[in-house]
Amino acid sequence: MKILAIGAHPDDVEIGCGGLLAGEGISKHILHLSNGETSKYADRETRRGEAEAAARVLAAEIHFFDIPGRQITDNETDSLRVVSLIREVQPDYLITHWALDGHPDHRGAHDLVRRAFFLSGARTETDAPPWKCRNLLYFHPFSSGYGFTPQFVLDITAVYGKKMEALRCHRSQESFIVPQVEAVSRYFGQNSGVDRAEPFRAEMPLVLHSDNLVELRRQ
């Protein structure tokens, strides 16, 4: 399975789906739309270096688009850049921000990626042939979780340590993101009968096969 996770800023992906990316047997790509240079805690070079360190922990290939902070929007130029990367990577799944995230950059990223998700499977002006991903998943909004009801949660108990190791690579942001991530993963885990979990929503209907139903009955 191959995954392309897209975040507005360095650390967004690790916060939202670092546990999923910490799993074995997955080909992982991370796209940071910006370098996080608008952060009051660190400059562009620091945040980029932190993102590269986190990607090494997760064994993920990393990509940067260098879109200026506060300028992440759904526009034709950047959507085609995302389409080109999707066709190059050919992921099974895309993962990005939820539509009602409270941060304007996160909302812009959602709209941009959602457009690219649909365009990547159609005939558009890029050199590569179309590629249709199986689904587009949305992770829990760090900025504001009001109204986010997950359609499924992923048990990340076994890989929680690696997720937090990757997250702590973002040292300039660590003091305020780590406690909140710990609280969210514990909350959704305990409400799902496991120790730690990551919640998700999906753009397209999720399909359960017969072997999945057998496993559900066992639980």
Across the range 37-53, mean pLDDT stands at 83
pLDDT of residue 19: 98
Q: Are 98 and 110 in contact (CB under 8 A)?
A: yes
pLDDT level of residue 200 (50, 70, 90 thresholds): very high
pLDDT greater at residue 19 or residue 70: 19
pTM to 2 decimal places: 0.93
The pLDDT tens digits of the residues spanning 89-141 come to: 999 999 999 999 999 999 999 999 999 999 999 987 788 999 999 999 999 99
- CATH number listed for the domain at residues 2-218: 3.40.50.10320
* End-to-end CA separation in angstroms for the chain: 25
Q: Which amino acid belongs to residue 207?
A: V
